[in-house]
Amino acid sequence: MTPSTHRASLTLPDETTAKRVVDALSELFFEDQAAFAAFERPDGRWDVTVHFAEPPDQALLRELVGQVVGQDVASTLVFDTIEAKDWVKASLEDLVPVAAGRFVVHGQHDRHRIPANKLGIEIEAALAFGTGHHGTTRGCLLLLDHVLKAYQPRRVLDLGTGTGVLGIAAAKALHGKVLASDIDPPSVRVAEENAWLNGAGHLVDVIRATGFAAPRFAADGPFDLVLANILANPLRQLAGPMTRHLASSAQVILSGLLTHQAPAVIAAYRARGLVPLRHLKIEGWSSLLLRSVR
């Protein structure tokens, strides 16, 4: 049971302003007094949320925020209380099965609801990213389903695997080996556990790696299919290294980017010989399918 917490929320026009507010508030509170979160919205604005164990001084907060961004913005600061709740139980109840082409991502409590003609992928809410409910994960699965209808890649890479959902989906659909990597040790552990849970532990090989630095990428490549559901900036930075690990006519599925970020990502890969084939937009997020023409 998670104890009740007190919350202050504010929407700001851009990342720079959000960072200024978070920096100012961070100087006022010790780490054990408040937790800060800032996220970009699909419309480009930023939401800043502060969680407190004890009720905050609302007037003091408004005054401090007003000093940074003006009193008009500070007046929009919203305070509320999040009641004590078993959030794990509640989150599992909310995670209904998600269908994406031939794939259905589900929790343990929904095993019985998966149609016999679908490939079920069981993923529980965990520390790692990717339960299938986010628009980026669903977009990648839809593109993967589209690719596999006409293409049978032999060497597959799931870069930034998170919970392992994409690598597991590819392994189960192809009945073949998949190399999966992540920079985050807990994600590596979660992905390995999920692979075995889904009967694909012998097919999905999960390694910890930053970018393409590990020797395994050269040993297992060049890859016929790469899945990378990360973020826009890392995807742009990885365009060059990824191209060097692609087989001729390889296909690449990219996601983790807001729709307005897609043109810059496409440009980075087009400059290295990849052409866009499909662009899915789901809930303000983009998923891209590209093919190497080199």
CATH hierarchy code of domain 5-82: 3.30.70.260
What's the mean pLDDT when you consider all of the chain? Answer: 88
Task: Kindly state the percentage of the chain with pLDDT values over 70.
Answer: 89
Please give the span between the terminal C-alpha atoms of the chain, in angstroms, as a whole number: 55
Positive or negative torsion for Cα 174, 162, 142, 289: negative
Q: 122-150, pLDDT tens digit by residue?
A: 986 554 445 455 688 899 999 999 999 99
Over residues 90-102, the pLDDT tens digits come to 555 555 678 889 9
Summarize the confidence of residues 200-220 as an average pLDDT: 95
What digits encode the pLDDT tens for the residues 165-181?
Answer: 999 999 999 999 999 99
Does residue 81 carry a pLDDT above 50?
yes
Q: What is the mean pLDDT of residues 286-290?
A: 97
CA angle 276, 278, 283 (to 5 degrees): 120
Lowest-pLDDT range, 56-65, 83-92, 249-258, 283-292? 83-92
CB 265 within 8 A of CB 235: yes
**pTM, rounded to two decimals:** 0.69
**Of 41, 31, 37, 42, which Cα lies nearest the Cα of 9?**
37
Q: Which residue did the predictor score with more confidence, 28 or 181? A: 181
Mean per-residue pLDDT, 141-163: 95
What per-residue confidence (pLDDT) applies to 127? 44
- For the chain, the structural domain boundaries read 5-82, 129-292
Element (H, E) at 262: helix 262-270
Distance CA 104, CA 18 (A): 37
Instruction: Write down the pLDDT at residue 97.
Output: 77
pLDDT at 128: 40
**CATH code for residues 129-292:** 3.40.50.150
- Classified as helix, coil or strand, 192 is helix
Query: What percent of the chain has pLDDT above 90?
Result: 59
Between CA 128 and CA 125 the distance in angstroms is 8
| 272 vs 57, more confident | 272
Instruction: Describe the chain by its helix, strand, coil percentages, rounded to 5.
Output: 35, 30, 30
